[in-house]
A and B are shown apart, each in its own frame.
Chain A
Amino acid sequence: MKVIINSKEYQGLPGETLMELAKRNNVDIPNLCHKDGIEGQGRCRLCMVEVREGKKTKIVSSCVYPIRDGLEVVTNSEKIIAIRKNIILLLLLKTPNNDYIKSLAEEYGVKAPDRYVDYKVKENCILCGLCVKACEKMGTSAISLINRGTTKKVSTPYDDPSKDCIGCGACAEVCPTNAITMTDKNRIRTIWNKEFKLVKCSVCGKTFTTDEALQFIESKLGKKEERICDSCRKKIISEKFKESFKYF
């Protein structure tokens, strides 16, 4: 399958999206809501590109656009760059104090007119939905995008502690703008209004993860897990290794 991106020819694989093809060939298409291993969402719209078919061109989100033989794509036309700048401007107005968005704006030379910016805004979430997708992947689906319009946000149902959350922190890790906080303090992990009593390692006594996370692992492995932290596991096995060498 031949696809032309910015006048250069690339070999596409069946079932690939434009974004996947571009990434595989190191063609840069900016994006915020895309992550390998998670299906494209087409949400942030930053990955818009121009696709030519005959005489017509259309603008599509590359993360959800399946490639076809003979497709012609332009990733950096004036039109595309103008669209991207607009999207970044809107994000900047929504999260004017977020470092990541600020650096993105700088990269694209986007400046928000001061009189439109409310610098008191503490918001960091750009509603990209990656956290929701990551949680879905875990099979936990503890959080979702709720409400509409200006009150749209990510949260647990009714903002209550979710019975499904296992406190893994994947949502916080994938968030491009660091909008989610997870804290471990006094043996308690807090995330999305839920408090987890952290599990103590049965060898060293240090806390290391949540019991819910260990149950997740147990269900995947189909066996009971000792409550032993990774450092102690390593010590136990190297101790064994040492013992077998003492007599060499």
Chain B
Amino acid sequence: MAKGLVVSPDKCTGCRTCELACSYSKSDTFNPKDSAISVMFYEDVGLQVPMTCLQCDEPHCVKVCVVNALTKDEKTGVVNYDKEKCIGCKMCVSACPFGNMTYSIRLKEVIKCDLCKGDPQCVKSCNYGALQYKELDSTLDKRKIIANQFKEAFGEGAI
């Protein structure tokens, strides 16, 4: 079974170290704008939610990419990005149902989570266990929870 990122908002302190670790590994800078993971804050309920690519089973970004710069690796489950192929049309940015694609104008490339080729830097940097990289157990699969919630919000055809 594929490994994936499991997010536990209840453990996230909102320190945003993951954003810095990610941007550093993706773009050699410490800039949350160039990070593939972003922490959303909900002060009303005291929760922070780190959000990143869900590595969808039927990725919309892959469907709209005309040069195959985005591909789904059926073995690892990861949606990979090849910046050498990317022509910068930014269709993937608008097509992602979850807003998880960012186009960096400075770098002329898409910033997207590829689970760091199996060594996710955000997970390493999180001191509170809010991010874990592990085999996805279908009953505990948080991505499925999100997916279901999303279907409720946007209708069946959304994913």
Contacts and interface: CB of A to CB of B under 8 A. Distances in A.
Question: Do A and B interact?
Answer: yes
A243 interface: yes
Interface in B1-38: 7, 9-10, 38
A243 B102 CA distance: 25
Given A217-B94, A235-B40, A241 B51 contact: yes
A168 B84 CA distance: 18
Interface in B85-126: 85-91, 93-102, 108
Contacts of A237: 51, 97-99, 146, 149-150, 153
Contacts of A172: 88
Contacts, number: 132
Interface of A: 35-38, 134, 137-139, 168-170, 172-174, 208-209, 213-214, 216-217, 220-221, 223, 225-226, 229-246, 248
Contacts of B128: none
Given A137-B66, A221-B63, A230 B84 contact: no
Interface residues of B, number: 46
A241 B69 contact: no
A233 B153 contact: no
Contacts of B89: 134, 138, 168-170, 173
A242 B47 CA distance: 7
B56 interface: no
Given A170-B88, A173-B108, A234-B100, A240 B153 contact: yes
A241 B52 CA distance: 12
Contact of A37 (B47, B87, B94, B142): B87
A245 B47 contact: yes
A122 B117 CA distance: 44
Q: Is the interface of B mostly helix, strand, loop or mixed?
A: mixed
Nearest to A245: B9
Q: Which of B9, B101, B142 has the most CB of A within 10 A?
A: B9
A65 to B, nearest CB: 19
A137 B85 CA distance: 12
A172 B66 CA distance: 16
Interface string B148-159: 011011100100
B67 A214 contact: no
A245 B66 contact: no
Nearest to A134: B87
5 contacts: A37-B82, A209-B94, A216-B91, A230-B102, A233-B99
A202 B154 CA distance: 14
A235 B51 CA distance: 9
Nearest to B83: A36
B64 A233 contact: no
A214 B7 CA distance: 31
A198 to B, nearest CB: 12
A170 B93 contact: no
Given A220-B63, A233-B97, A240 B149 contact: yes
